[in-house]
Amino acid sequence: MTVLVIGGAGYIGSHTVDLLINKGYEVIVLDNLLTGHREAVHEEATLYVGDIRSLEDLNAVFSNKRIEAVFHFAAQSTVNESVKNPMQYYENNVYGTMNLLKTMESSHTKYLIFSSSAAVYGNAGKAPIPETAPLAPLNPYGETKLAMERMITWWAASSKSKYISLRYFNAAGAKSSGEIGEDHAIETHLIPIVLQTALGRRKKMYIYGEDYPTSDGTCIRDYIHVEDLAEAHLLALTYLRNGGESNVFNLGNGSGYSVKEVIAEAEKVTHANIPISIAPKRAGDPVCLVAAAEKAQKELLWLPKKSSLRQIINDAWKWHKYNPDGFKTIAKM
């Protein structure tokens, strides 16, 4: 079975490609390599360098091979950047997805597994958050994910295609072998920043806000291992191939950790002192995002295998320790 992974050179995409190849799928990757890395793509996958904002690039891939399913990871995903450049987010994320859906329709591609986000919920007001919670994004990133989800719903209703939207909470960790991991040119995510500080690549790190209404005043997130996320994508495809209907699922562990708790756990894993400073709150940050993920467990038969924060930070640490320059280290080898 041939599947297309759009954004397969990115963080979550590359881990999913790796798993798909290991499970025997024929995998094509389409990625513009603006934030993704060629070295992250499994050598047995066929890589097309192209952009979903270009119908020509999409047609070049779809006209070459019968594709049964698409995994769509290609999106800009930084909250802060989206607040500064909302139009760029609409163009990349929403317009790009519109092109993808048109191309899938004309090539009669049956299944779409879509990377959505907990950012669609905004400040949900309760934890854990079920899929039925009100959708009220706090930033353009979350708005574009919601717009994409809604576009996909209407597209599927008018075609023979089916979709699964997966609302990720906070993806973290790395492949346990340490071969691939998280590498952003400008890092904004908590766990990589904490570990870069532990490595001494940063003198100190900043905690964005210490007076949130939580027990220690810092924001709470539900961290989920990237390998568990990858597994959920495969299960989502199996679910559709077995006759399951279009659906939406949260993917998280159901446990929330504050920024300070993450730093404390990282100090234990790395045996390093992690210097911190308190900085102003980041625009668009929800206070608390914790998943109710029973639906995915029940219906997709998804069972996260690396659900503890310790395991997640451990695997991320392996990647950062041995690849302090990310994929640049690997490219040199």
Q: Which residues bind ligand UDP (CB under 6 A)?
A: 79, 170, 188-190, 193, 205-208, 219, 221, 259, 282, 285
Would you say 34 or 279 has its CB closer to ligand UDP? 279
* Catalytic-residue membership of 141: yes
Tokens matching residue 171: 């993806």
Question: Shortest gap between Cβ of 256 and ligand UDP (angstroms)?
Answer: 11
Q: Which is closer to ligand UDP, CB of 6 or CB of 205? A: 205
The least distance separating ligand UDP from the CB of residue 69, rounded to whole angstroms, comes to: 26
Across the chain, which distance is largest between two alpha carbons, in Å?
56
Whichever of 28 and 120 has its CB closer to ligand UDP, that residue is: 120
Shortest separation between residue 289's beta carbon and ligand UDP, angstroms = 6
CB of 286 to ligand UDP, least distance (A): 7
CB-wise, 19 or 79, nearer to ligand UDP?
79
Catalytic residue among 11, 89, 121, 141: 141
The residues annotated as belonging to the active site are 141
